[in-house]
Each structure stands twice: as structure tokens, then as C-alpha cells.
Structure 1
Amino acid sequence: MRLGIYGAAEEVTGSLYLLEHDGRRILIDCGIFQGQDEDKKNSEPFPFDASTIDAALLTHAHLDHSGRIPLLVKRGFRGKIYATTPTLELCEILWRDSARLMQEEAEWKTRKNKRKGLPPVSPLFTEEEVDKALEFFAPLSYDDIFEIVPEIKVRFRDAGHILGSSIIEVWIGKESVKLVFSGDLGQQITVLDRSPAVINDADYVIIESTYGDRNHKSLDDTRNEFASIIEESLRDRSKILIPTFVVDRVQRLLYELTLLQEKGILSGDIPIYFDSPMGVKTTRVYRKYSSLLSSEVQDRILRNLDPFSPRGLKEVITPQESKKINDVSFAIVLAGSGMANGGRIVHHLKHNLWNPRSHLIFVGYQAEGTLGRRIIDGARFVKVAGEEVAVKCKAHTIGGFSAHGGQDDLLAWASNFKTNPVFLVTHGERKASNFLARELKKIGFEALVPQRGYEVLLAHGRPTVERKIEALAERPFKDLQGIVKDMDILLASLSDVLEGVEVAEDMEALLLSAKVLLEVANQRVATKMEVAQSETKDNYPSSTF
């Protein structure tokens, strides 16, 4: 009985967990990586044979949790894909859009490569793989227990993150070892979605930590901040650009703009361009499943008030319509992607970043390596669509609209567990994950921050977690990278244990000895590389002139 953590470890994207028991193999999430080295990470082989996976469970539709499922199918997966019905409908929309964008990008890169005499580029997956993946969809309802394969039962609970999002409870084996995968958790006080379900028992909890080191502003403070920024932006009478995630965030913004109009802060005469065909589709899904949203939203719908349709809203579908927005000097523009690393927001940024009167409002997490992150980190110049552009617009960040819970929300949810489970803290940058782990320890839980590739041996009621590290004798002699990987895990574990602890003299001597051995190994590898390079150079045939 084993859990492998192969993504979203000390980073926010690429969620991927493999659960193994008695010859059965179940995936929980299979998301894309976003940000730094995303192309390399997304295209590398899975750490398992896709054809051996019996089933996949999806916590929700966001691409960093679901986006590599079509690639999994491309590489041989033929099992069931379990999720709530709204999640599966949203996945189809997101995957088709991703396939289209990847195809366009691959064609563009292929044209460039052809001029350089380089080979063509293939997309990560195509619409054909998306169509195939849809055949394996298997919807599950909230709160009911299902046996998906022999001796593995699951239950989906509302995570309060986006429409259809789930916390997944998993029971394994005759001993009923229980794991709880938090997925992405919403805030305790919500607007569009319901509060995360309360769960009391588990042996292991895999908890997200996107905002594990900080809290959001209160709802009132967030709304006041948004109103203040909108008022300031309106005085400049220029473009107001809002990069949006097309699932949940854009629906929340449409609702908040509706409230500003009702308060008289935002005039209905100011055009609001909803420049996202995919966002238009996802908003229809939100309307379709409004019974799963908050009572605040349902109350409006009962009174025939559309929460997602402020006055002046213009849905922009075609590329030509999108380009015409460049001719409009004063408007609010909502466009994907939320991290500004693709989608129609890119060309709006290219035409407006340089303008000191324009405003740019980020309303969600910006991963390392994305264009959005570079802008909020203060870059004076950024490359947009292949062109260097000066950043002179006024940039704002509002964290309170996040669909993720802040630190206090995560701790409040975790404190409901009464069985003293082991917490594995994932889905957060290293600082955020470590901070949340320390806070969990303060309230009496054992908490670990795994690295990518970390494996956990599972057993009922265990107070500790074992790492699966093979003895050197079991390894091929040349598996040096595997040895280094295990050393990396051990070093991370030591770092967690030693933090704030006074080290005894004998332990200090051991660590210094290990440091010396690593330095010797490093020097020997460097020397061998120099010798190899020298031999290659000596054996290379001389050019004749």
C-alpha cells in the first residue's frame, strides 16, 4: 500500500498522485505544470506506465489538476475517469481549448523551425485524445461512497473551491486505511461556492498550501479595495485589464461588477468586454448547476436576477471582435489567461502595458515564471508576444477574490480532524508549504512537506511516514541520479527535523563527514567530465583546408 507524489510538491501546479494497493493503481489528479520549465515538465515521461492505471479521480477541472489527462490517454490509459458531473463538463471545455492552443503553437513553432532546418513540433495532445478521454468519463455524486475497484472505495465531498470541486476520501484494503485529498480548498466564508465539507477522520491527509503562509483580506475589505481600484481606474478614463481564470474567477468578477453597479460606483454605460469564448461557455455551466452554488447566488436566481450579467456586458467571441477592442479607449476588459501566460489577455497587455493611464488588476495567484508573476514582481520591461514592452501601467493585486483558502481557512479545516492523521503538505511553493506544516505541528499534528518523487508506505493508524528508499545493492550500479534523488529526500527531511533544534556534537560530526564525502564525489565527477571532454576533443578529426 503506497502513495507516490509526482507533482505539485514544493510548487503549485502539476498535481499528480499515484495510489497503489494489491496490484491496483489509482491516480488522483493529473495536472499540467505552469510557469518555469512548463514545456519540459509537461512533456517528460510519466513515472509509471499509463496503460497500467486502473482509474483516475479528479478533484476539480482546473488544468493544473486535470490538464494532462488527454496526454495520459495518448500514452495508453484506458481506465475510468471519476469526478462530479460539473467537473467533467468543465474539463471538456478546458481540454478542447488547450488542444486548440497547443495545435496553433505547434504549427507556429514548426514554421519557425522549418526556416532553421529544424524538425517539426508536435502538440502535447490533440482534440483526438480529448475525444478519447471523454469516452472514459464516469460521473459520481457528492457524499455517496463508491467502490471503484476491489478494496478501494471513494467519496467526493464539496471543497468549496469552484463549481464541482471535491475533497476526495479514499478507503484502502481490508484494514480501511483512509486518505483524504483536500484538492484545492475554498475559503470558510464564501460568495459563489459553498463552504468546504467538514471531515473528522483520516490516517493521512494530503492538504494544499497555495496560501499556507498568509491570509486574505476579509470579504468587506476585499470589496472595498476592489471598489477603490475601480474608482481610481475610472478617473483615468483608460483601459482596465483584468486577467481572469475562466472557471470561477471570471464568474466572481462578473458578480462583483454587478454589485458595484447596484451601489452606483460603476455606471452601466461603461462597456465591459468579456473577451473569452471559453469563459462564456463555463459561465453557462455555472448557470446550469447553480443549485450547487451558495445560497446568496441561488437567492438572486430565484428572483430572476442573473448574477453573471452586469449591464454593459459584451461577450467577445471571434478574434476579429477581440482586436477591435484595441480601438476602444475606455473600457473594462476581462480576458484569459489568469496568469497572463497565454490567451487573449496577451494582446491586450501588448497594447496597454506601456500606457501610464491604463490599469491592470490581478485577482488570482501568479505562479513563478509566468508573465503575471514578472509584472507583479516589478519588472520594468517584459516580453509580450515576442516583443519587449515597457511596464508603465498601474498594476494592482487583489488576493481576497481567490478561490483558495488562506492560512487560517486551511488550519480551520484541518482542525476538524480528531484522529491525529499525518498531514502531507503539497500544492504550494516551498515557503508556503513549510510555513503551513509548522502551523499544523503547533496545533498537534504531524506534518511533512514532500518533494516531487516522494513515496509513502501506508498503514492504518501509523504515527509516522516511511520513505521508500531502495538499498544500494538493489540498484543498478549506474543509477546515480536515483541515489542523488534519495539523498535529496533525506536532506529535505533532515532540514525539517533540525529546524529550530540544537544539534548534538556527534550529529554535527556526522553531518560534516557527509558534507566532505559529497564534496569528494562532486570533485571526482567533475574530474571525470573534464577527462571525457579532453578525450573527445583529442579523438575528433581535424578539419582540412
Structure 2
Amino acid sequence: MRLKIIGAAGEVTGSSYLLECGASRVLVDCGIFQGKEDDRKNREPFSFSPVSLDAVLLTHAHMDHSGRIPLLVKEGFKGKVFATLPTLELVKVLWYDSANLMKEEAEWKTKKNSRKGLEEVEPLYSAEHVDQSIRHLSASSYDDKIEVAPGISVRFRDAGHILGSAILEIWLVEGEKEVKIVFSGDLGPQKTVMERNPAIISSADYVVMESTYGDRLHKSNEETRAEFRSVFEKVLKDKGKVFIPSFVVDRAQRVLYELALLQDQGILGSNVPIFFDSPMGVKATEIYKKHTNLLSSEIQQYISEGKDPFSPGKLKYVSSVEDSRAINGVKHAVVVAGSGMINGGRIVHHLKHGIWDPNNHLVFVGYQAKGTMGRRIIEGEKNIRIAGEEVSVKAELHTINGFSAHADRDDLLAWASNFTNSPFFLITHGEPESSLAFSETLKKAGMKSAVPTAGQELELEPNGAAKAPKIIEQPVMLRVEDMSSVLSEILTLVSGMKDGRPAASEEDILPLLQSSKILLETAKKKMSEKKV
């Protein structure tokens, strides 16, 4: 019995794990990479033969967990993809949209390459591969234990992250040996708004656990809503636009619900139009409306009062490109559009036409991975190249992490503390700082924990909690080609600091800056020595 870490190690995208038990091989998640060098990573060959897999177990629909399944099918996968019914409905929407975007991007790159005499660019996969992938989907209900391959059984439990999201309880049986391994998937917070609370699981030998926000805390729902309200109070005074880049599954629905609440409170006037500019998001919202029985008690109560949580007043669903472009002529409005990290989608078009205006506001309501345009804007980049044009960033920026569908550090610790038999925790799905910090949090709480790296393999033994497996936690190593990226990030930070006002006194900050200056001078000296 063996576990191999394939993706989401040292980063929050590309989730994928390979389980082997006897002659059976099962993949848990098969997600795309997002952010820096994403195209290269997504095109790298799988580290296993897709034909050899018996099944794929999918924790939820988000593309960083599901997005490479059509590629898996393209390369020969013949088994079933098991997931909850809402997840299967959502991935159909996401995969077709992804295939269309890939096709458009490939055509654009091919056009550019043809002028240089270079080869055509093929999309990662096509709509035809999505058609084939859909035939592999198999719905599973929550809490039923099913066998997915000889010696491998799974039970899907509610993860409270997005509609249909699941924690996986997996049993591996080989001869007289049995091992139980739990995959947290992406966990929702303990105090939820959209979904139900994450299921409590009390026993396992091993737990593969996410750590997206393993080193920080979210604001409370009350604090987050107060922050969101203050943004709109200012927007109303400025008479500008508010742009909300949003993941179109769950986050967009949460934003629509919060806008409806602001209207109920009389804060957001009925004269302010709200544009939901995402054909895919509209389809996802219909799926949410179909499965409201799986949503939280708060949403259930809102519906019982005869109100639609996802249809605030003055809401207009935008489908056509012409209607999307027409929004440019509207001076005062709320624009919710994908993608959440501004690495594509219609939000790019809107920001090109509005991020330069200081009367406008840009509100981030989700995680921004390293290398994405959203992350660069948050870190203070003042000029960005967007849709082929250099644009100044002058809109007022707001980051509201409390809307996240991810658990924060204390939520993660609370969930992990439900285990009573002291399993061994493998901390993944987080940037290095976050994963290492959460691993230390677990150790301080008396739990066994380690942070594996991509490519590491682990022999799974019965009662694995009784003896900690040997995992060498490797330091994060920078490749030579990463140096220019690090220098760019330093320049971006310095640019943002020059224009900002320190909250602390200069006496507290100046020594830190002087130390940084000395380190940079040392690095520059070593670079010069190396050239000589």
C-alpha cells in the first residue's frame, strides 16, 4: 500500500495524489496548476500511466482539483470518476468553459507564432475530450461506503467548502492488512454561511490535509460583513464602479447573497445596477438553486422568508460579449465577473477599462496564488499589462478574506482535533510558509505531522499512527530561473511601500529596511563575484 504526492505540495493548485493497493491504482483529484508557469506544468506528462488507473476520486469541482481530468481521459484513462452529484453537475460547466478558453488562447498564440514561423499551439484538451470525460462520471451520495477498485473503498463526507465538496474516508485492504487514510479536500470554516459545517471524522491512520490558510486567521462573519458594507458606503459616495473578480462556483453566489443583504438593509440602493458577467457563473448558480437542501441553515432561513439568496434587485445576468462590452459605458455599477485570480475571464476586460480610475474600487474576495495578476496587484504593482495594454492601477483596492470558503488556521486545528486515535497528518495544498506553519501548529498540539514535497512516496502501514513514517521535510529551494522573479517581487514590494504610509513609527521600521539593504548589497556582491 502506497501513497504518492503528485501535486498541491508547496502550492495551492494542481491537487493530485496516487494511491496503490495490491494491483489497484486510484487517483485522488487531478487538478490544473494556476499561477506561475501554469501552462508548462499542465502540459508536463503525468508521472503515471493514465491507462493503469482504476478510478479517480474527486473531492470537489474547483479546477485546481478537477481541471486535468479531461487530459487524463485524452491520454487513455478508462475508469470511473466518482464524486457527489452536485460536483459532477458543476464540473460539466467548468470543463466546457475551460475547453473553450483553451481553444481561444491556442488560436491566439498560433496566430502570433505564424508571424514568426513557429509551430501551431494545441489546447491542453478540447470540448470533445470533455464529452468523453462526462461518460466516465459516476455519482456518489454522502455517507455511503462504496468499493471503487479491488481492495479500495471510499466514503464521501461533507467538507463544507463549496456545493458538493467532500472529505474522503478511504480504506485500503491487502490480505490481512487494512489502512484508513482521510483526504480533507478543501475544508470550509467551522462557522459557515453558504454550506453546512465540515463533517466530523474521529479515526484514521493517515490524514492528508489542506493548509491554504494554515498560517493566518480570517475575520469573523460580522467583521467581514462590516468591512464589505463600508466598501459600498464609499462606492456610493464616489459614484464609481466596484469590480469583484470572483470564482464563479460558490464565491460568486456568496457575493450575490451579501449584496442582497445590503439591499435588505437599505445600504445598497435599488438604483445601482449589478452585473453578473459570467455565462458559466449563471449556470453554476442554477445548480446551487437546484440543491438548496445541501446549503446552510442561514440560507435555508432566507429562502423560507420567500426570498432568493442569489438574486439581489437590479441584478442582470450578462451572457453575450456585446452586453459585456456595453458595461464599459455604465459609470456607476457593481460588476461581478470571473476569474477570481484575474488570470483570464471577463474581469480582465473590465479592469482594462476601469482599474485606472481612482473613483472605482477593486474588491478581492478570494485567495490569490503566487504569479497571478491578482496577487501582483495586491502586492502593490502600480502598472500592469492587461489584455495587451499597459494600465495604471489607481482604483482603490480592498481585500476581504472573510468570504473565503476555506477554513483558517483555527478552523483547521479544530477539525484536526476531532481525531481521537492520533493519526499522522500530511500537510499539503498550501504555500510553503502556510504548510510549515500549520504543521508546527499541529505538533505543538501534540499531533504527528509533516510537510511532504511533490514526488514523495510513502509506504502505508496499518496503525500508521503508532509509528511515525519517515518523511524528510525538504527546504524550499529556488531554481536559478526563479531569481528574476524574486527580484521582480522585491521591486513590486518596494514600489508599494514608497507610496504607503506606515502604521508603525519610523523608528520601528527603519532598522528592518536597513537590514534588508545590507542583505541586498551582499547578494549583489555575490552575483558580481560569480560573474568574475
Same fold (TM over 0.5): yes
Aligned pairs for 1:236-255 (under 5 A) are: 236-255=238-257
Q: What TM-score comes out, normalization by structure 1 length?
A: 0.86
* Contact 1:71-1:125 at 8 Å conserved across structures: yes
* Contact 1:34-1:367 at 8 Å conserved across structures: yes
Residue type at the aligned position of 1:371: M
CA offsets, 1:478-535, max 9 Å, x none?
A: xxxxxxxxxxx674499xxxxxxxxxxxxxxxxxxxxxxxxxxxxxxx9xxxxxxxxx
| Match for residue 450 of structure 2 among 443, 448, 451 | 448
Aligned-partner Cα distance in 2 for 1:307–1:219? 17
Q: The residue matched to 1:176 in structure 2 has which SS?
A: strand
1:109 aligns with 2:113: no
* Contact 2:14-2:64 at 8 Å conserved across structures: yes
Give the length in aligned residue pairs. 474
Q: The residue matched to 1:160 in structure 2 has which SS?
A: coil
Aligned to 1:70: 70
Aligned to 1:327: 329
Aligned to 1:81: 81
Structure 1: runs of 5+ lacking an equivalent: 468-488, 495-525, 527-545
Aligned-partner Cα distance in 2 for 1:295–1:274? 25
Q: What TM-score comes out, normalization by structure 2 length?
A: 0.88
The alignment yields a C-alpha RMSD, in angstroms, of: 1.3
Aligned to 2:344: 342
Aligned pairs for 1:254-269 (under 5 A) are: 254-269=256-271
Aligned to 2:385: 383
Question: Which ranges of 4 or more aligned residues in structure 1 deviate by more than 6 Å?
Answer: none
Residue type at the aligned position of 1:112: K
Aligned-partner Cα distance in 2 for 1:323–1:491? 48
Aligned-partner Cα distance in 2 for 1:176–1:233? 58
Aligned to 2:190: 188
* Contact 1:162-1:248 at 8 Å conserved across structures: yes
* Contact 1:340-1:372 at 8 Å conserved across structures: yes
Q: The residue matched to 1:256 in structure 2 has which SS?
A: helix
Aligned to 1:26: 26
Aligned to 1:502: none
Aligned-partner Cα distance in 2 for 1:241–1:354? 12
User: Per-residue deviation at 1:465?
Assistant: 1.5
Aligned to 1:273: 275
Q: The residue matched to 2:380 in structure 1 has which SS?
A: coil
CA offsets, 1:393-418, max 9 Å, x none?
A: 10110000000000000000000001
Aligned to 1:211: 213
CA offsets, 1:156-187, max 9 Å, x none?
A: 00000000000000000143200000000000
Residue type at the aligned position of 2:43: S
Aligned-partner Cα distance in 2 for 1:259–1:454? 47
1:51 aligns with 2:51: yes
Aligned-partner Cα distance in 1 for 2:302–2:178? 43
Aligned-partner Cα distance in 2 for 1:107–1:266? 42
Aligned to 2:469: 465
Q: The residue matched to 1:247 in structure 2 has which SS?
A: coil
Aligned pairs for 1:339-418 (under 5 A) are: 339-418=341-420
Aligned-partner Cα distance in 1 for 2:234–2:304? 34
**Larger mean Cα displacement after TM superposition, 382-391 or 54-63:** 382-391
* Contact 1:457-1:466 at 8 Å conserved across structures: no
Residue type at the aligned position of 1:107: E
| % identical equivalent positions | 59
CA offsets, 1:441-461, max 9 Å, x none?
A: 011111110111111110011
Aligned-partner Cα distance in 2 for 1:302–1:396? 33
User: Per-residue deviation at 1:268?
Assistant: 1.3
Residue type at the aligned position of 1:406: D
Aligned to 1:201: 203
* Contact 2:338-2:346 at 8 Å conserved across structures: yes
CA offsets, 1:235-265, max 9 Å, x none?
A: 1101110001000000000000000011111
Aligned-partner Cα distance in 2 for 1:178–1:96? 35
Aligned-partner Cα distance in 1 for 2:152–2:114? 50
* Contact 2:279-2:319 at 8 Å conserved across structures: yes
Aligned to 1:310: 312
Q: The residue matched to 1:425 in structure 2 has which SS?
A: strand
User: Per-residue deviation at 1:299?
Assistant: 2.1
Residue type at the aligned position of 2:297: S
Aligned-partner Cα distance in 2 for 1:226–1:376? 17
Q: The residue matched to 2:34 in structure 1 has which SS?
A: coil
1:149 aligns with 2:149: yes
Q: The residue matched to 1:352 in structure 2 has which SS?
A: coil
Aligned-partner Cα distance in 1 for 2:236–2:182? 46
Aligned-partner Cα distance in 2 for 1:188–1:268? 33
Residue type at the aligned position of 1:464: A
Aligned-partner Cα distance in 1 for 2:211–2:314? 38
User: Per-residue deviation at 1:234?
Assistant: 1.6
* Contact 2:432-2:476 at 8 Å conserved across structures: no
CA offsets, 1:138-164, max 9 Å, x none?
A: 100000100111211100000000000
Larger Rg: 1
Aligned to 2:487: none
Aligned-partner Cα distance in 2 for 1:330–1:296? 30
Aligned-partner Cα distance in 2 for 1:340–1:493? 26
Structure 2: runs of 5+ lacking an equivalent: 478-529
* Contact 1:11-1:429 at 8 Å conserved across structures: yes
Aligned to 1:521: none
CA offsets, 1:181-214, max 9 Å, x none?
A: 0000000000110000000000000000000000
Residue type at the aligned position of 1:250: A
Aligned to 2:504: none
Aligned-partner Cα distance in 2 for 1:493–1:437? 15
CA offsets, 1:73-123, max 9 Å, x none?
A: 001101000000000000000000000000000011111111110000000
Change (3 A) 1:493 1:172: farther
Q: The residue matched to 2:131 in structure 1 has which SS?
A: helix
* Contact 1:18-1:25 at 8 Å conserved across structures: yes
Aligned-partner Cα distance in 1 for 2:150–2:121? 42
Q: The residue matched to 1:199 in structure 2 has which SS?
A: coil
Aligned-partner Cα distance in 2 for 1:330–1:303? 30
Aligned to 2:488: none
Aligned-partner Cα distance in 2 for 1:267–1:456? 57
User: Per-residue deviation at 1:303?
Assistant: 3.1
* Contact 2:451-2:473 at 8 Å conserved across structures: no
Aligned to 2:3: 3
Q: The residue matched to 2:403 in structure 1 has which SS?
A: coil
Q: The residue matched to 2:422 in structure 1 has which SS?
A: coil
Aligned-partner Cα distance in 2 for 1:224–1:65? 32
* Contact 2:453-2:473 at 8 Å conserved across structures: no
Aligned-partner Cα distance in 1 for 2:207–2:94? 28
Q: The residue matched to 2:402 in structure 1 has which SS?
A: coil
